Structure 1
Amino acid sequence: MTPKLLLHLLLLLGLFGTLPAAETAPAAEKAKIEALISHIQGLEGATFIRNGSDYSAANAAKFLRAKWERNDKEIKSAEDFIAKAASTSGTSGKPYIIRFKDGKETPCGEYLTAQLKKQ
């Protein structure tokens, strides 16, 4: 490696070292998101419908947590979590639905927004 190329690489590394790191959600927002996921997990007898398939509340909670982790850098608040991870399928664009024990169905995003307002 030539000295000139080495100098250019060091300069580039120095420039990138000064860029701000992508931040994740603040602790208070993470706690709200965890509370929403725990709430979903605790919905006794509820079914989570994603892309036409039914999942248990426990599996829905695992899925939402994993989707949050995959999109962590984009999710800065509980509202972001609902909008970017817990409302619609990134694959099909279809909304996630919660079917309660009594058969009533509601979009997951709407339900979680209402739950967030209660926190």
Structure 2
Amino acid sequence: MHRMIATLILFTLLALPAFAQQDVEQQKIAYLIESVATLQGATFIRNGTEYDAKRAADHMRLKLRFAGSRVKTAEDFITYCGTGSSMSGIKYTIRFQDGHIIDSATFLHGKLAGYEARMASDTH
């Protein structure tokens, strides 16, 4: 009985870092979606159709639900949910208020890098 309890405790302690890491990744994904949702004056272009920031974020949330267990990290989220259409293969783009256009993957990678840099500086 003691051996079983010790094994269970050991398993729990070993699993905690994985669960904590998953929480961190979920926070990063939530941050990326919120970064999209709150872009003022931006237009998201998906398969040639323009969408506002809120609808783009809603679409990413939907893709995240459909992606399921394939999305374990923020990088996975960008790859599977934020880069382009899985049907047509066409990249998503963002046209900002000033008129410049970038791929959504470039925008999301930049946001992720900034988030990770802030988190790293907060822990030091």
- Deviation per CA, 1:73-111, whole angstroms, max 9, x where unpaired? 100100000011100101100000000001100000011
Aligned to 1:87: 83
Aligned to 1:32: 28
Is 1:112 paired with 2:105?
no
TM-score, normalised by the number of residues in structure 2: 0.75
- Deviation per CA, 1:40-69, whole angstroms, max 9, x where unpaired? 011000001000000000000000011011
Deviation at 1:26, TM superposition (A): 1.2
Q: Number of residue pairs matched?
A: 96
Higher helix share: 2
TM-score, normalised by the number of residues in structure 1: 0.78
**Counterparts of 2:63 and 2:30 in 1: how far apart (Å)?**
13
Is 1:48 paired with 2:44?
yes
Question: Which protein, 1 or 2, shows the higher relative CO under an 8 Å CA cutoff with sep ≥ 6?
Answer: 1
**Structure 2 runs not aligned, ≥5 long:** 1-20, 116-124
Letter in 1 for 2:60: L
Give the number of the structure whose alpha-carbon radius of gyration is greater: 1
**Counterparts of 2:68 and 2:99 in 1: how far apart (Å)?**
33
**Counterparts of 2:27 and 2:101 in 1: how far apart (Å)?**
26
